[in-house]
A and B are shown apart, each in its own frame.
Chain A
Amino acid sequence: MTAATAPTETVPPAGEAIVPLVEARGIVKRFGTFTANDHVDLAIAPGEIHALLGENGAGKSTLVKMIYGSLQPTEGRFFWKGEPVGITDPNTARRLGIGMVFQHFSLFEALTVTENIALALSDVADINALANRIATVSRDYGLPLEPRATVADLSVGERQRIEIVRCLLQEPELLIMDEPTAVLTPQEADQLFVTLERLAGEGCAVLYISHRLEEVKRLCHAATILRHGKVVGHVDPRVETAAGLARLMVGADVHAVRPRHARTAGPTRLHLDRLDLPASGPFAVALDRVTLELRAGEVLAIAGVAGNGQSELFDAISGERTVSRADAVRIDGRDCGRIGVTGRRELGAAFVPEERLGHGAVPAFRLSENVILTRHATCEDAGLRAGFIDARRAGSTAARVSEAFDVRKGRPDPEARSLSGGNLQKFVVGRELDRRPTLLVVNQPTWGVDAGAAALIRQALVDLAADGSAVLVISQDLDEIFEIADRIAVISRGRLSPAYDAHVMTLEKIGLLMGGAHGGSDRIDDAEKLREADGHAH
């Protein structure tokens, strides 16, 4: 172990009490035979912004759910201001002064902002007075909200504000935030950091869960790193390097994707020509004149914050939703806007959706059956003859895929839902790659997947393009995009920006495009901002 990985004790800011605000000692949490947290220790001082680092599955969410009272520890104790305390339920946590903003919001779409917040508070005498307080507090902290708005009408960033304001109204002493910037544009994230720094200055501690190292380095005073449920270090992220933090999180050098060699792209495999798609429901996004050309041999990434039309775009390209204009979608030059999924697969296309359980695979079905799901019309290896299923053939295909993509499973042919996220994702991606498709469209390829599996998947995508296929990646993970993409476009509110070469794209430019500025748009001031951003390229 090098010096950089030796644990460094947290140093409380000078002049503050040494007694930590909240402390966890020897926390263990087991779910059946699985140990999510293994003797975890943690201490946060008042007014400190403390990061909880770890990759997906490290046990961060489990730990904070126990601090918040949603779960109970199997062993171990919590201390609040030095006194032992049993946090039996969220109400107790709130009474102590702990507030939590979850990664997945606990909101009620059909109810108003005020009603949502009223539900989260234990005693609300006058709902109108509450509405006024919401308006005032939200404005004061730079996260304005309209109390009478219905949640269903709000954007993801605005919904997060509801969660935050709800906590702020209770004047917390500890605010827990679980992956808050996953759903924010870079500009919104900046605003959030300002708010958090202000809170810390007022004496409120912040427990900041993230796997985004640059953010943590920028914002946090201290960090605890979890790996596979155990604490592997307490460090000061202002001192530690991003690489060092990454090594602690993952335990080994992260496999870096082999750099791509510049290559001339081949014929156009996928062409979207002013694709329009009406919104399918009140909470959906309409696609507006989406135009895109994807060539053989390249990886094109579409960046965007959740909820801007990614799923809709995926459904339109895959054929789950067809459009009236046949030439709006062309695969290999063939009009297929009106052809369904199976027809597009027969043209050599393959698709991997965002949700693996329930969409990409049937949770209760075995892997051998899930192979048939996408391959029943296209090749015998799915095990289909004259309408009859050949279970052995399907089984051997599933085995081949599992072997090639390092899918770790407990039994030879398990149910899809018993696999871990990373392994199932490897299977779902592998199932498509095994067909050697000429066009692959994948939505959020490594969401919720451990680093090892993520690296394998990303390498597979790059290799597929290198072999001459066209690869379209829709992702919310900018790090991933910069790692594998040749060209980058941004989707915002159902509109797609032009695709720029990856080496001229900057974080700032992407942020602007996410905010709605389009390079060739009719909004002159946005185009100016883009040019300015180009000038500040780093």
Chain B
Amino acid sequence: MRIELEKRAERSAVMAWASPLVAVAATFVTGAIIFAAIGIPPLKGLYVFFFEPLSSLWSLEELVVKATPLILIGVGLSVAYRANVWNIGAEGQLTAGALAGAFVPIFYNSWQSPATLVAMLALGVLGGMVWALIPALLKIRTGANEILVSLMLVYVSQLLLDWLVRGPWRDPHGYNFPKSVSFEGWQTIPTIGDGRLNLGIVVALAVAVGLAVLMRHTLKGFEVRVLGEAPRAGRFAGFSSDRMTLFVFLLSGGLAGLAGIVEVASTVGQLQPNISPGYGFTAIIVAFLGRLDPIGVVVAALMLAVSYLGGEAAQVALGISDKAARVFQGVLLFWVLACDTLILYRLRIVRGAPAAEGV
């Protein structure tokens, strides 16, 4: 018995919508099995993980807070991946953006004005762009694989952060803890209401909508899609893949940098060795789950934010590690990719050897 793939004449529009849903359902099933395997009642486990985070206003706010960086980075990556440029180092660009933006409160601690915030955000974007420029230029000039270069720079950026926070940028009044001075007033992102919800989500949604318009309705978006699908046709159309590499790296890097400075200027409020629970990597899953479409990314980001909250809740309620969230995310990505096959191919289960035909 074999599985055979039969190519469809055209992409199945139905499956393009259904495949992420099927993938989510399959993840639930896999999750139930994993829970059962480690001795937790499956339904309770699924409830705690995926539905409890949606049950209270407080947790809904947390959801949005966690989804914000995922949206910002995810939409940038979705454009890059559409262009077949594999920026895997968003986590490093996030860190670089946080470092660049933090420059202001650390060195100009008493500067308090709306311009402070603007400067921080701008520097954050710039920091992410500069960090992303490295793999982009190396790819263009030398052909070096952007996946590996951008990834190596993640480790470098994290070590840089570690050094700065324990050394030159450590808060002198911080009791020797490895952290920078706290950001105050205009050096933090304004909140909405009295919870942790902040303006970051507004920025993220605006960016998502902007990029959705770009991808669907502009020549630039067309250029991205052509170069990603058929680079030769792109050249024939007069588009330059080198310039596209630069464009998408700067875009996704800048957005990751923005996410970085938004994170440290809101949730965290200072620099410390660990500023992100792997948002840069989770955003990769978000991009795929969202079908590499900016609006889809928003939905996917919310879903994956649920898994983060679920992981924390599960730690408390079920006694399992929050690493389980990572496992779910990995499983989800697998299912998304598996179900994606159905968009381009029809599955046929073939019984017996093909040689039996016709003899």
Contacts and interface: CB of A to CB of B under 8 A. Distances in A.
A34 to B, nearest CB: 10
Contact of A364 (B6, B220, B222, B229): B229
Nearest to A385: B219
A89 B355 CA distance: 8
Interface in B231-258: 232-233, 235-238
Greatest chain B CB density within 10 A among A320, A362, A364 is at A362
A124 interface: no
A344 to B, nearest CB: 9
A73 B230 contact: no
Contacts of A417: 9-10
Given A355-B232, A360-B233, A373-B236, A388 B218 contact: yes
A345 B226 CA distance: 19
A363 B230 contact: yes
Contact of A387 (B9, B218, B238): B218
Contacts of A320: 235-236
Contacts of A318: 236
A347 B238 CA distance: 14
Given A84-B359, A365-B229, A387 B219 contact: yes
Interface string B202-241: 0000000000000001111010011001101101111000
A359 B11 contact: no
A387 B11 contact: no
A363 B6 CA distance: 17
A389 B238 contact: no
A358 interface: yes
Interface in B34-57: none
Contacts of B218: 387-389
B210 to A, nearest CB: 13
A376 interface: yes
A86 interface: yes
Interface stretch (A7-15, A74-82, A456-464): A74-82
Given A351-B236, A374-B237, A88 B355 contact: yes
A72 B233 contact: no
B354 interface: yes
B257 to A, nearest CB: 26
A384 B219 contact: yes
Contacts of B6: 32
Contacts, number: 90
A333 interface: no
A362 B354 contact: no
B358 interface: yes
B358 A415 contact: no
Given A72-B355, A75-B358, A363-B230, A374 B236 contact: yes
B357 interface: yes
Interface string A362-376: 111100010011101
Contact size class for A?
35 or more
Contacts of B217: 388-389
Contacts of A32: 6
B84 to A, nearest CB: 13
Given A363-B230, A388-B217, A86 B355 contact: yes
A152 to B, nearest CB: 19
B49 to A, nearest CB: 37
A73 B356 CA distance: 10
A359 B232 CA distance: 5
Given A74-B358, A415-B10, A372 B233 contact: no
B11 A364 contact: yes
A73 B229 contact: no
Contacts of B353: 88
Nearest to A29: B358
A418 B9 contact: yes
Contact of B238 (A86, A342, A365, A384): A342
A359 B355 CA distance: 37
Contacts of A401: none
A362 B230 contact: yes
A414 B8 CA distance: 13
Contacts of A328: none
Given A86-B355, A373-B233, A341 B238 contact: yes
A320 B229 CA distance: 18
A361 interface: yes
Contacts of B357: 72-74
Nearest to A410: B9
Interface string B1-45: 000001001110000000000000000000000000000000000
Nearest to A26: B358
A75 B229 CA distance: 38
B229 A362 contact: yes
A355 B232 CA distance: 10
Contacts of B230: 358-359, 362-364
Interface in A57-76: 72-76
The 4 A-B residue pairs with the shortest CB-CB distance, nearest first, are: A342-B238, A88-B355, A86-B359, A73-B358
23 contacts: A72-B355, A73-B357, A73-B358, A74-B357, A86-B358, A88-B355, A341-B237, A341-B238, A342-B238, A351-B236, A358-B233, A359-B233, A359-B236, A362-B229, A362-B233, A365-B229, A373-B226, A373-B236, A374-B237, A376-B219, A387-B220, A388-B217, A388-B218
Given A358-B230, A376-B219, A414-B10, 17 more contacts: A72-B354, A77-B358, A84-B359, A341-B236, A353-B236, A359-B230, A360-B236, A362-B230, A362-B233, A364-B11, A365-B225, A372-B219, A373-B233, A376-B222, A377-B238, A387-B219, A389-B222
